[in-house]
Amino acid sequence: MTTIDPLFDLTGKIALVTGGSRGLGYEMVKAFAAHGADCVVVSRKFDACEAVAEEVRALGRKALALAAHVGKWAEIDAMLETAYAEFGRIDILVNNAGMSPQMPSDEVTEQLFDSVVNLNFKGPFRLASQVAKRMRDGDGGVIINVSSTGGIMPLPGVVPYSASKAALNQIGKSFAREYGPKVRINTLSAGPFLTDIAKAWTPEQRETADNALGRPGLPEEVVTTALYLASPHSSYTTGALLQVDGGTY
C-alpha cells in the first residue's frame, strides 16, 4: 500500500472533475485518486473519460466515466443525477472544462460567442450552484473553479474567453458567501501550461512566457495547488483566487 501524505489525504472523498480526460483536469484526477479519492471523470467523449477512469481503478479507487457537454444545463443535470445515483454525494467538484478560440473580436460570430460563454461560465454556474446546494444540505464540500490569467489581465483576440473567465472569478467569491460556511469555493487561476493546446503554439511559446519564471508550466505543476484547495488543510481558505501562472505580468 502506498502511504498517503497526511496533508492531502482524500480517502473516502468523491471528486468530480469536468474536462477530466486531458490537460490540467487529467492531472487533477490522477492526483486526487493517488491521494485516496474516488473519481467521476467528465468530458464530451466517453471513451476518453473511460480510459482515465481505468487508470483510477488501477490505483484501487472507484471511478465513473460520464460524457456530457457542460455548456448545456440539461446535460449537466442528467450527468449529476447519474453521479449522485452512483456515489450518493460529491465532496469535491472541479469546474475545469473550458475553451479559448483565438480570433479578432470583429470576426466572432454569435454562435462562437455563445459557445465560449456557455462552456466557460454558464455551465460552471449551473454545475457549481446545483452541487453547492446539495453540499450545503448535506455534509459540506469543496468546489474549485479553474480560471485563467485571461480573467484578470487584458488579452487581445480572446475577449469572450477573458470575459467569461472574469465572470467565473466573480461567482467563486459570490458563491463562497452564498453557500458558506459548509461549502468552500475557490478559484485556481491558471497561467500558460504545456497541455494539449500547446501543440498549436510556436516553439518559442512552448519554451518561454511573459512571467516571472520565464516559462510555461508543466501540467503536473498544478497538482499541489489543487490538492491544497481540495483538502481539509485549506479549511480557512474560501472565496480566494490563487494564481498558478509562474508570476504572469
* Residues with active-site annotation: 161
Q: 123: helix, coil or strand?
A: helix
Asked if the bond preceding 181 is cis, omega within 30° of 0, the reply is yes
**Planar angle of CA 132, 182, 229, nearest 5 degrees:** 80
Q: Which of 219, 195, 215, 218 is nearest to 207 (CA)?
A: 215
Query: What is the identity of the amino acid at 57?
Result: R
Reported in sequence order, the residue ranges of 71-230 that DSSP labels E, i.e. its strands, are: 92-95, 141-148, 183-190
CA–CA distance, 112 with 218 (Å, rounded to integer): 29
Cβ pair 29, 17 in contact under 8 A: yes
**Which helix (H) or strand (E) covers residue 169, if one does?**
helix 159-179
